[in-house]
Amino acid sequence: MLVFIGKRLLMLIPILLGISIIVQVLIDITPGDPVMVMLGGQATQEEMDEVRERLGLNDSLPVRYVRYMRGVLQGDFGRSLVSNRPVFDEMATRFPYTLLLVALSISLSILIGIPVGVYAATHQNTWRDNASMFVALFCVSMPSFWFGLMLIQQFAVRWRWLPVAGGGSWNGWVLPIVSMALGITSTIARQTRSNMLEVTRQDFVTTARAKGLGEGRIRYRHALKNAMIPVVMVIGNLFGSLLGGSLIAEVIFSLPGLGQYTIQGLRNRDYPIIQSSVLILSVLFAIVILLVDIMFALIDPRIRSQYTRKSTRGKNKKKGVILIEKDA
Domains and CATH numbers, the chain: 32-76 (no CATH), 90-314 (1.10.3720.10)
Per residue in 117-161, pLDDT (tens digit) is: 989 988 888 998 899 889 888 988 888 888 888 999 999 888 888
What are the DSSP calls for 116-173, one per residue?
A: HHHHHHHTTTSHHHHHHHHHHHHHHHS-HHHHHHHHIIIIIIIS--S-SS-SSSGGGG
Q: What pLDDT was estimated at residue 111?
A: 92
Give pLDDT, residue 112.
92
Query: In the beta sheet, which residues pair with residue 86?
Result: 79
Res 324: pLDDT: 46
- Reference 68, options 284, 273, 272, 274; nearest CA is 272
- Show the low-confidence residues of the chain (pLDDT under 70): 1, 4, 41, 166-168, 297, 299-328
With contact defined as beta carbons under 8 Å apart, do 127 and 206 qualify?
no
Residue type, 174: V
Q: Which pLDDT value is given to residue 29?
A: 83
pLDDT of residue 308: 55
Q: How many residues does the chain have?
A: 328
Task: From residue 325, give the alpha-carbon distance in Å to each of 314, 318, 321, 328.
Answer: 17, 11, 6, 5
What is the per-residue pLDDT for 1? 63
**Per-residue pLDDT, 323:** 44
262: left (phi over 0), alpha (psi -120 to 50) or beta: alpha
SS3 (DSSP) at 14:
helix
